[in-house]
């Protein structure tokens, strides 16, 4: 069936069936097209394909059928017009900046984004005359106050890492659009299963496919989804020239990841919610950060904006860093790793790993206490996850 028809289907169906253009071999599963180049029918055919006057594959830096299938499938799921895949989530973020920004532009970025995203703006785009202001994710007024006449875009992740704060996407999209600027949402934590930023007014959605989209910790990849116009004018020319391309093998892994994404996300959320409620009853836990809890400051916003509350839980131990390290070292099953979105539960101490390069003052300002522990809740039995934590919590 024709690809455009998938718009009428639900996300669960799109995730399994959209994007595959069956070849004359009648294969049921999407093949890996391990080819760098393609053969043209004639000199004229080659010339026409290069100018884009007729469609068709040219060279796998920017056209590959397996990568294309991944792009089409993810675009349907996000309810976006067009998707381009990249070699990593950071490559996707880099591409958005390289495509959209020029010297003299201004960016507003949430203070609570992935560490390397901060560095991209602070260390690299700054070198080329792009100024970035970092603001508090949930302080909508601070975003508005930071807007300048040359603000090209606002950039955020929601929920944030590691404090799981929720930004009001709709309010920030309205602010961006009132000032002729764009809203970019890194939707890595929620995936389209839990949150659809375009329906709330976002202009560009970014993914690290490395996390929930793969879901089993095997490949690194990323994606940018936006309108045809934005992709065609700003992102595709950069991908074609800059070359941070997703490999066909990785696209094939991510395609099968998408097929189980909806049921995995539901199971991640169920386990995480259960763990968060249980942690709240533990005497040595000072605070649990999980948007499903009514104690969470943006619980109502999370309920409106997301279908479920996500797979990441963080919590503060009364005993500070020593208690946090002790808990982490007492686990037998849970993996000590900073990766997230895996079927395997992982545990980290943000203050000495992902956020260890921040000064103690900057960490305090970001609200990341020494007793904070972050868990990416996997799909093992929730009883086994609790049992692995119970000794260290005592
Ligand atoms: C991991 C991550 C990235 C970067 O993705 P890579 O695939 O590791 O390059 C970007 N944003 C968020 C929210 C992430 O968790």
pLDDT at residue number 392: 96
Burial 261-275 (b: 16+ CB within 10 A, else e): bbebbebbbbbbbbb
9-259: CATH architecture:
3-Layer(aba) Sandwich (3.40)
Using the predicted structure, report yes or no on whether residue 2 has a pLDDT greater than 70: no
pLDDT at residue number 354: 86
pLDDT in tens, 295-310: 999 999 999 999 999 9
pLDDT at residue number 3: 65
pLDDT in tens, 21-46: 999 999 999 999 999 999 999 999 99
Using the predicted structure, report yes or no on whether residue 207 has a pLDDT greater than 90: yes
| Contact partners, residue 308, CB within 8 Å, separation at least 6 | 194, 265, 266, 269, 273, 292
Ligand 1 probe mutation, 188, 189, 350, most atoms within 8 A of CB: 188
In this prediction, residues 335-355 reach a mean pLDDT of 94
pLDDT in tens, 264-289: 999 999 999 999 999 999 999 999 99
Confidence at 363, pLDDT banded by 50, 70, 90:
confident
210 within ligand 1 shell (Cβ under 6 A): yes
Ligand 1 probe mutation, 111, 160, 211, most atoms within 8 A of CB: 211
In this prediction, residues 213-232 reach a mean pLDDT of 98
Using the mean position of ligand 1's atoms as its centre, give its distance from the Cα of residue 1 in Å: 34
Residue nearest to atom 7 of ligand 1 (CA): 89
Residue nearest to atom 11 of ligand 1 (CA): 114
Instruction: Return d(Cα 298, Cα 316) in angstroms, integer.
Output: 18
pLDDT in tens, 109-123: 999 999 899 999 999
Peptide bond preceding 45 in cis form (omega within 30 of 0): no
- Higher-pLDDT residue of 363 and 160 is 160
pLDDT at residue number 4: 67
Using the mean position of ligand 1's atoms as its centre, give its distance from the Cα of residue 26 in Å: 36
Atom of ligand 1 nearest to the CA of 188: 13
157 within ligand 1 shell (Cβ under 6 A): yes
Phi, psi of 16 (to 5 degrees): -100, -30
Using the predicted structure, report yes or no on whether residue 49 has a pLDDT greater than 80: yes
pLDDT at residue number 181: 98
pLDDT at residue number 115: 87
- Spatial strand order in the sheet of 312-317: 285-289, 312-317, 372-376, 346-348, 335-336
89 within ligand 1 shell (Cβ under 6 A): yes
Residue with tokens 């920004």: 101
User: What CATH number matches the domain at 261-393, 3.90.1150.10, 3.40.50.1820, 3.20.20.70, 3.30.1490.20?
Assistant: 3.90.1150.10
In this prediction, residues 365-374 reach a mean pLDDT of 92
pLDDT in tens, 150-190: 999 999 999 999 999 999 999 999 999 999 999 999 999 99
Average pLDDT, whole number, for the chain?
Answer: 96
Model's pTM, two decimal places? 0.96
- Residue 149 CB neighbours (<10 A): 8
Confidence at 365, pLDDT banded by 50, 70, 90:
confident
Instruction: Return d(Cα 223, Cα 191) in angstroms, integer.
Output: 12
> What whole-number percentage of the chain has pLDDT above 90?
92
pLDDT at residue number 303: 98
Using the mean position of ligand 1's atoms as its centre, give its distance from the Cα of residue 25 in Å: 36
Q: What is the 3-state secondary structure (H, E, C) of 183-252?
A: EEEECCCCHHHHCCHHHHCCCEEEEECCCCCCCCCCCCCEEEEECHHHHHHHHHHHHHHHCCCCCHHHHH
Using the mean position of ligand 1's atoms as its centre, give its distance from the Cα of residue 56 in Å: 31
Task: Give me the residue spans of the domains in the chain.
Answer: 9-259, 261-393
211 within ligand 1 shell (Cβ under 6 A): yes
pLDDT at residue number 5: 84
Ligand 1 probe mutation, 163, 191, 208, 217, most atoms within 8 A of CB: 208
pLDDT at residue number 1: 57
Q: Show the tokens assigned to 235.
A: 């992102």
What are 332's strand-pairing partners?
Answer: none
């Amino acid at each position: 069936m024709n690809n455009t028809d998938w718009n009428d289907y639900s996300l669960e169906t799109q995730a399994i069936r959209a994007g595959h253009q069956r070849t004359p071999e009648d294969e049921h599963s999407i093949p890996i097209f391990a080819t760098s180049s393609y053969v043209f029918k004639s000199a004229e055919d080659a010339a026409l394909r290069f100018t884009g006057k007729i469609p068709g594959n040219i060279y796998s830096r920017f056209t590959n059928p397996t990568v294309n299938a991944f792009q089409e499938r993810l675009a349907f799921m996000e309810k976006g017009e067009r998707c381009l895949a990249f070699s990593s989530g950071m490559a996707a973020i880099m591409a958005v900046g390289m495509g959209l920004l020029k010297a003299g532009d201004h960016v507003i970025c949430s203070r609570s984004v992935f560490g390397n995203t901060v560095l991209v703006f602070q260390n690299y785009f700054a070198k080329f005359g792009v100024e970035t202001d970092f603001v508090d994710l949930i302080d909508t007024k601070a975003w508005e106050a930071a807007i300048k006449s040359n603000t090209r875009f606002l950039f955020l992740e929601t929920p944030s890492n590691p404090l799981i704060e929720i930004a009001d996407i709709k309010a920030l999209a309205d602010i961006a659009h009132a000032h002729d600027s764009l809203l970019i949402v890194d939707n890595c934590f929620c995936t389209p299963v839990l949150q659809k930023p375009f329906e709330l007014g976002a202009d560009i959605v970014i993914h690290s496919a490395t996390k929930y989209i793969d879901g089993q910790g095997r490949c690194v990849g990323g994606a940018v989804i936006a309108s045809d116009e934005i992709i065609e004018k700003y992102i595709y020319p950069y991908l074609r020239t800059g070359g941070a391309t997703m490999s066909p093998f990785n696209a094939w892994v991510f395609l099968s990841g998408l097929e189980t994404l909806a049921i995995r996300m539901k199971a991640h959320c169920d386990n995480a919610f259960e763990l968060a409620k249980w942690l709240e009853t533990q005497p040595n836990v000072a605070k649990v950060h999980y948007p499903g809890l009514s104690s969470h400051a943006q619980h109502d916003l999370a309920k409106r904006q997301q279908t479920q509350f996500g797979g990441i839980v963080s919590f503060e131990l009364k005993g500070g860093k020593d208690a946090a390290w002790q808990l982490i070292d007492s686990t037998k099953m849970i993996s000590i790793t900073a990766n997230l979105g895996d079927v395997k539960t992982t545990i980290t101490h943000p203050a000495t790993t992902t956020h260890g390069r921040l000064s103690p003052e900057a960490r305090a300002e970001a609200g990341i206490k020494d007793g904070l522990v972050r868990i990416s809740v996997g799909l093992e039995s929730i009883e086994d996850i609790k049992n692995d934590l119970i000794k260290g919590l005592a």
